[in-house]
Structure 1
Amino acid sequence: MTALTTPFGFGTTTAEVTEGIDLTGRRAVVTGASSGLGAETARALAAIGAEVTLAVRDTAAGEKVAKEITAATGNHDVRVAPLDLTDLASVAAFAGRWQGPLHILVNNAGVMACPEQHTEQGWEWQFATNHLGHFALATALHGALAAAGNARVVAVSSSGHQRSPIVWDDIDFAFRPYDPWLAYGQSKTANVLFAVEASRRWAGDGITANAVMPGAIYTNLQRHTGGGGSRRVPAELIKTVEQGAATSVLLAASPLLEGIGGRYFVDCNETEVVDRRSGTLHGVARYAVDPAGAQRLWNLSQERVARFLPGSLA
């Protein structure tokens, strides 16, 4: 399989990847869109005509961003809806309120290297937020995605996935000492594996899913690290928010990605598969794109979520 390349790269902005694209009539959901990359992703999609729903925990912050997007783009089809990815009832409520087709789902929300915490189900917080909540959301919205005919799902991952594969026997750190970066790493591996399996499983519905490494950007994601995750990156590799969101927007909107799924992109291009930690922001670990691992994770996730949201999974 030849790696997909585009005319874009590290310094490309959302305005550049969307030039000439018209998403009028298309509907998008962006999680975590009340700040940072999510807000810019939502703004960029609205700027080219999409109806955009900001799926956020803090609806007051979301409403503020929505008004700013409308003022900046002239698009009045910008909405806000409550969504807490660690609360499956909230996920079910969001999906239950959705009516009609959904053309674009950007699984952007996330937490990074937070202190040890577990959900009421006993799930490790980062795995629950970054993967299981988005898995439940996407599968609950499967019918809407299928109704679109050519829907796209974007899973925002990270080069941090190279820190850890899925540790199948102890995903929730019940027996090993908690390490916030290992927990983050396996949750980001899960994002890539989700894209691989969703593309395979939903190909007959015309749904594609890809994973993205946005790059190093200063956002609220670093609130638990004091910015440390980005401070280890050379200054010349730090992106603006407009540059950081460009790859997500490319995957969500560009005709260059028509029919492409199950891949991992960095700087607007598909990156290489690596067998050792690359030490850079590029490269996707072989275990993160392993089809057998992707199927195993899907089955595990389905079993977990189905216990609390029976009948909601596709």
Structure 2
Amino acid sequence: MRAAGFAEPGGPEVLGVQTVDVPGCGPQDVLIRVAHAGVNRPDCIQRAGHYPAPHGASPILGLEVAGEIVAIGDDVTQWSVGDRVAALTPGGGYAEYCIAPAGHCLAVPDDLPLAEAAALPETMFTVWHNVFQRGCAKPGETLLVHGGTSGIGTMAIMLAKAFGMTSIVTCGSDDKCEAALEVGADHAINYKTADFVEEVKRITGGEGADIVLDMVSGDYVPRNLQCLHEGGRHVTIAVLGGAKTSLNMAYLMSRRLVMTGSTLRPRSDRFKTALCAEIAEHVWPLVADGTIRPVMDRSFPLDDAAGAHERMEAGDHIGKIVLDIGAG
């Protein structure tokens, strides 16, 4: 099969198409003929040599795919050959065929294009776990999201709206702020022209947000804490602005703030299966009825995976970037 890979870590230019063996299907796996694969920031970090694949995972990039099941493992009972699925994968998505644990798959509705289906798993799993499970989000609460037009940001906006929350997002331009509002954000702040801490306080009447979903970390963290209501929750999912910061723990204690965070890829198959089941029950019906559809940026052919990474790293995208692997 054809797959996008690299011999040595580096910039987007190291990506090229290789010929590799089709992966074998384990007893609890399905083999998917990939139509489209989502492109995510961790793919770029892995390509640069800073995010190695977990033990046992495919070294091929790609954490989410959509396509047709062409083989099932001996222990798989919930899927059949020919089913259209979207899947969270431990790796291997930038290829014509990809293995996924059967419990990490979701049935693709007939009216959902596979390109859009491939843009859902990574962001949906990440936002649901971090905002609703770890962040304990409830209807009526206010969520602050940095990177409002990213794949994560747009998914957070849609899920917040679907579950009765108010969303405030930050973006790097007025155009992106407008795009975030069109997706459904209640408020959008251009962090390059306004102090987002002061803007959050103004928007909330001085109360602050209940949850911050942070992809920046670094020196954003103390500022994020100033945006929170007493007893608020700060959830970190990436450290694009740096992994270290300095905190006044007395401030944290006096305002009874909660700090947490997670990474999804290293979690066990059992955890991801349970998370997938919860999403299938509470969120996927909103996909089936059309309430939630991913915000799509651009599709690139597999041969131009480097171009997809260049666009991701330039930060000009709004919504999800996907690779077109095959028919569908």
TM range (shorter): 0.3 to 0.5
Instruction: Give me the TM-score of the superposition, normalised by structure 2.
Output: 0.37
Richer in strand (by share): 2
Q: Report which of the two structures shows the higher radius of gyration computed on alpha carbons.
A: 2
Structure possessing the higher relative contact order (Cα contacts under 8 Å, 6 or more residues apart): 1
More helix by share: 1
